[in-house]
């Protein structure tokens, strides 16, 4: 199953909840961004420049929003969420407030020790999504944290060894195309999952890592390798086949389907503001949410955008029941 917290019988209440949310046109996935502060210094994101003074303005509970949306998937994100010392309390309160949800935590992983993972898992987290774009020091340099990749790999193995679910969030960039399959195989050997996204410059205008036109053939070959890997072994790569198949089309600029962000997924920032997606401006307080119309935007092809557009095919069901 997607998370070690779930058993096959969970598919029944989850399917029921999914149908209810779709019928009521409510988001299936809600991102709770608990802080914009971050102690990494990625060149493709400006969150780490957030003033420490903003800490005082961060929400001390997401329970009301959780009850109002009652989503099927809750993603705890940042900034770096582990900078919040009260993260276990935030997670635990939401865990008690709503039923039949899958809660994941996105982190850069530098502070995700086995002990912290255990306390967050016990509070309600059902998957640790750790950013990892390279297996070596290139990842440390990209994030500005010495020793990061080695720490992530060691901790992921230890956390997985205790029966908790870990997935690497890996962004496909211009300079890691040859890294993707080795990373997937390393994850497979550790029984850790991988979720892939495509690099975007929408966060802060950094075009340095955009996939180039002359890399199209290599990207197509990589997609074939990933799909072939999935056919052999489901569970390691959590992207749908559809998402992977569409990557070359997105890169060629042929994706004309409107983005469903704000409709199927929605983002609540640390101060209670609501956005259709993390990279769009705030539209007001979350209590004023009245749905978003699909939008013609092609600024990103992150997994959350792509999966919202993916049709419900048999292979998605197989992905749901497979384990890393
Ligand atoms: S991408 Fe993530 S880890 Fe990097 S600065 Fe932004 S919030 Fe921090
Ligand atoms: S494509 Fe969708 S998710 Fe991506 S930036 Fe545009 S509106 Fe946001």
Q: What is the pLDDT of residues 271-296, one digit of tens each?
A: 999 999 999 999 999 999 999 999 99
Ligand showing the shortest atom-to-Cα distance for residue 83 = 1
Supply the pLDDT for residue 315. Answer: 85
The answer, yes or no, to whether any atom of ligand 1 lies below 6 A from the CB of 148, is no
What's the mean pLDDT in 238-265? 93
Question: What are the angstrom distances between the C-alpha of 117 and each of 6, 100, 130, 219?
Answer: 18, 21, 12, 34
Ligand 2, atom 4, residue with closest C-alpha: 300
Q: What is the dihedral of CA 89, 119, 238, 12, to 10 degrees?
A: -70
Pocket test for ligand 2, best of 202, 247, 309 (most atoms within 8 A of CB): 202
- Euclidean distance between CA atoms 237 and 259, whole angstroms: 23
> Which sign does the torsion angle of CA 19, 23, 29, 32 carry?
negative
Ligand 2, atom 7, residue with closest C-alpha: 297
- Euclidean distance between CA atoms 258 and 40, whole angstroms: 33
pLDDT per residue as tens digits for the range 10-19:
989 999 999 9
- Euclidean distance between CA atoms 63 and 69, whole angstroms: 10
Query: Domain locations in the chain?
Result: 8-321
pLDDT per residue as tens digits for the range 177-198:
999 999 999 999 999 999 999 9
pLDDT tier at 313 (50, 70, 90 boundaries)? confident
Supply the pLDDT for residue 323. Answer: 85
- Euclidean distance between CA atoms 214 and 324, whole angstroms: 33
Percent of the chain with pLDDT over 70: 100
Q: Is the pLDDT of residue 69 over 90?
A: yes
The answer, yes or no, to whether any atom of ligand 1 lies below 6 A from the CB of 40, is yes
- The domain defined by 8-321 folds into TIM Barrel (3.20.20)
Contacts of 259 (CB under 8 A, 6+ apart): 277, 294, 295, 296, 297, 298, 305, 308, 309
Separation of 157 CA from ligand 2 center, angstroms? 33
Q: Is the pLDDT of residue 309 over 90?
A: no
pLDDT tier at 38 (50, 70, 90 boundaries)? very high
Pocket test for ligand 1, best of 39, 41, 46, 108 (most atoms within 8 A of CB): 108
State the chain's mean pLDDT as an integer: 95
The order of strands in the sheet holding 102-107 is 193-198, 166-172, 127-131, 102-107, 73-77, 29-33, 265-268, 274-275
Separation of 42 CA from ligand 2 center, angstroms? 20
pTM listed for this prediction: 0.95
Nearest partner of 48 among 5, 19, 83, judged by Cα: 83
pLDDT tier at 206 (50, 70, 90 boundaries)? very high
Supply the pLDDT for residue 321. Answer: 81
Q: Is the pLDDT of residue 324 over 90?
A: no
Q: Is the pLDDT of residue 36 over 90?
A: yes
């Amino acid at each position: 199953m997607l998370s070690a917290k779930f058993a096959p019988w969970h598919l029944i209440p989850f399917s029921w909840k999914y149908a209810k949310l779709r019928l009521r046109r409510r988001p299936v996935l809600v991102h709770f961004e608990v802080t914009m502060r971050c102690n990494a210094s990625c060149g493709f994101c400006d969150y780490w420049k957030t003033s420490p003074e903003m800490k005082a303005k961060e929400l001390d509970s997401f329970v009301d929003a959780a009850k109002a949306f009652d989503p099927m998937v809750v993603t705890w994100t940042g900034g770096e969420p582990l900078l919040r010392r009260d993260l276990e309390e935030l997670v635990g309160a939401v865990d008690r407030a709503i039923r039949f949800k899958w809660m994941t935590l996105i982190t850069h992983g530098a502070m995700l020790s086995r002990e912290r993972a255990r306390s967050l898992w016990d509070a309600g987290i059902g998957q640790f999504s750790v950013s990892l774009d390279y297996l070596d020091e290139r990842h440390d340099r990209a994030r500005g944290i010495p020793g990061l990749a080695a720490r992530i790999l060691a901790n992921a193995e230890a956390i997985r060894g205790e029966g908790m679910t870990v997935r690497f969030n890996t962004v496909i960039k211009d300079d890691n195309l040859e890294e993707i399959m080795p990373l997937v195989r390393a994850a497979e050997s550790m029984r850790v999952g991988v979720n892939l996204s495509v690099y975007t410059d929408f966060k802060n205008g950094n075009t340095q890592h955009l996939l180039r036109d002359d890399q199209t053939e290599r990207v197509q070959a990589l997609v074939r390798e990933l799909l072939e890997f999935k056919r052999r072994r489901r569970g390691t790569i959590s992207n749908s086949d559809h998402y992977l198949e569409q990557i070359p089309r997105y890169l060629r600029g042929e994706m004309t389907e409107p983005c469903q962000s704000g409709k199927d997924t929605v983002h609540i920032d640390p101060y209670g503001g609501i956005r259709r997606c993390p990279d769009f401006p705030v539209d007001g307080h979350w209590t004023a949410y009245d749905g978003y119309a699909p939008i013609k935007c092609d600024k990103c092809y992150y997994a959350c955008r792509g999966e919202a557009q993916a049709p419900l095919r048999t292979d998605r069901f197989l992905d749901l029941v497979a384990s890393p």
